Chains A and B, each alone.
Chain A
Amino acid sequence: MTDATAPSTTESILTSTARDWSSDVTTFKGVPWGKAMMWIFLVSDTFIFTCFLVSYMTVRMTVTDPWPNPSEVFALAIPNELFGWQFLESPIPVPLLLIAIMTFVLISSSGTMAMAVNMGYQRNKKGVVLLMSATALLGFTFVAMQGYEWSKLIFEEEVAPWNNPMGAAQFGSFFFMVTGFHGLHVSAGVIYLAIIAYRVGRGHYDKTNFEIVEITGLYWHFVDLVWVFIFALFYLW
């Protein structure tokens, strides 16, 4: 393979694209097959999540019952005392507090993952294992907080997929479906990260260019990407 990875500046975008697609050899030049496959999987996943979010928006625009206000439903109060030590007059209610923390945890994990990919291409195995473990740990923290959020909603706020005391009944079904499907992706990602980190540590990929770390990273960044849309369209909207 010659130097085919760098996009040519002399030929037009369309010409280079047409040439790549019709060259009767590898279409995605310089892209390992695993990475191309991961991208194709992520495109299909994009379609699934978009269908969820579009149907959610459609229902939300269609209902005549009031839609529960997410910033109230997901509000959390900062406690005024801890272990008998009172440091505030009264608890301070903060809208979407837990969701904001979850967002920052997921962004942090995306950052550590990006650094892990960088370490991989520098052949720094110790760095890869350390940063991927940190990413998995942050992902696990996210899922744990989501578990808390779900149990609070189910047992305290009495939200069910078919009914809730705050307004439109569809709120529950969309909340559990969209965040549940995303949480499933995060959980799978944590397991995926743990397996790849373990195999990197065992020297399983020593003969490769460590592109497996980048492929794992693509999946993890996608999970973060989906959360960006859920955060904006479900929680903030």
Chain B
Amino acid sequence: MATEGQQHPIKIYLLVWALLFVFSAISYASDYMDDGVIRTSVILLFMILKAAAIVAVFMHMQWERYALIFAILLPPLALMVLMTLMAIEADYAWATRVEYMGEPIAPEPKPPPTHRH
């Protein structure tokens, strides 16, 4: 056992912990915003910030050697290709459905909930 292990000052953990709380609060607050590009950007931005903070500090990624960092962070990039392909395909499938099955149904007002006792 020659390894020193991942020992870092407690301060940075507390800082990231507090940051995660703030980021989550802002994410949650986005639910009160109107739908649109800004709201979507806020959701995505704080999702990525939170994920990065967790991976970099809590999972100690920023202190690892590049051999390990690349082995872990590069393969998931392939998933970006999947995401792009599926987004293109979904647009096409939606357009096809609308063309052959008619316009999308407008949202109906929600019926009052039926509670069973």
The answer to whether B97 and A54 have CB atoms under 8 Å apart is no
Cβ-based interface call for B87 (8 A): yes
- Our pick among B43, B76, B116 for the contact of A47 (Cβ within 8 Å) is B76
What is the total of A-B residue contacts with beta carbons within 8 Å? 184
* Across-interface contacts of A30 in B (CB, < 8 A): 3-4, 65
A214 vs B64: C-alpha distance in the bound complex, in angstroms? 13
Q: Which residue of A lies closest to B20 (CB)?
A: A107
Category for how many chain A residues contact B:
35 or more
Residues of B78-117 whose CB lies within 8 A of A: 79, 82-83, 86-87, 89-91, 93-94, 97-98, 101, 104-108, 110-111, 113-116
Contacts A107-B17, A111-B13; is A165 near B111 (CB within 8 Å)?
yes
The answer to whether A166 and B68 have CB atoms under 8 Å apart is no
Cβ-based interface call for B59 (8 A): yes
Q: What residues make up the interface of B, taking CB atoms closer than 8 Å to A?
A: 1-8, 10, 13-14, 16-17, 20-21, 24, 27-28, 30-32, 40, 43-44, 46-47, 50-51, 54-55, 57-60, 64-68, 70-72, 75-76, 79, 82-83, 86-87, 89-91, 93-94, 97-98, 101, 104-108, 110-111, 113-116
- What are 18 A-to-B residue pairs whose CB atoms are below 8 Å? A7-B66, A16-B67, A27-B67, A47-B76, A58-B89, A58-B90, A61-B90, A66-B104, A95-B31, A103-B28, A107-B24, A111-B14, A214-B5, A221-B58, A225-B59, A228-B50, A236-B31, A237-B40
